[in-house]
Amino acid sequence: MKNNQINFSLGMITISLVLLSFIPVHDSNSNLKSEFLIQIQMTDNGVEMNCESGCWWNRLSFSLSENKPVFVNQAGMVRKIDNNNDDSDSVHAFLFSVQKTKTGLQLIGAQGTSWDKLTFDCRPGVCRQLINQDGMVKN
């Protein structure tokens, strides 16, 4: 009788461990950081970005208007993403928005970054700012 109880207990423990192995460690990819290094420069017409690592693109150039963000991920410019209703957000190694302010630029990290917001003063043709998954990097 004791052997049957021991075997039953060991069987239940084994089944529990197998089932636990299927539970994901992270419930969202937004908690994971993706390594990238991007240089951002304001131009007379908008923004130029040069990716030094972690992107599928080398150079992006786009115009910006105040209060109208442009979204960027590892593949380039993308449409605005609603993280609550879009199942495709897991395809983004990183995702952030770029928005023009009165004195420069504001970046808002949506996925794959450890920063929520970066803001810096920047004049066209004058500043170049390096950013990565952790924030601003010295040039």
Q: What is the pLDDT of residues 12-48, one digit of tens each?
A: 566 654 444 444 433 333 456 789 999 999 998 899 9
Q: What is the pLDDT of residue 13?
A: 60
CA distance 133 to 72: 13
Q: What is the pLDDT of residue 14?
A: 60
CA distance 36 to 130: 10
The parts of the chain modelled with pLDDT lower than 50 are 17-30, 85, 87-89
CA distance 129 to 39: 6
Q: What is the side-by-side strand order in the sheet with 59-63?
A: 59-63, 46-53, 37-42, 128-132, 135-137
Question: Maximum distance among all alpha carbons in the chain?
Answer: 84
pTM of structure: 0.70
Q: What is the pLDDT of residue 34?
A: 82
Q: What is the pLDDT of residue 65?
A: 83
Q: What is the pLDDT of residue 90?
A: 56
Segment (H or E) for 100: strand 95-100
- Tell which residue, 49, 63, 44, has the closest CA to residue 96: 49
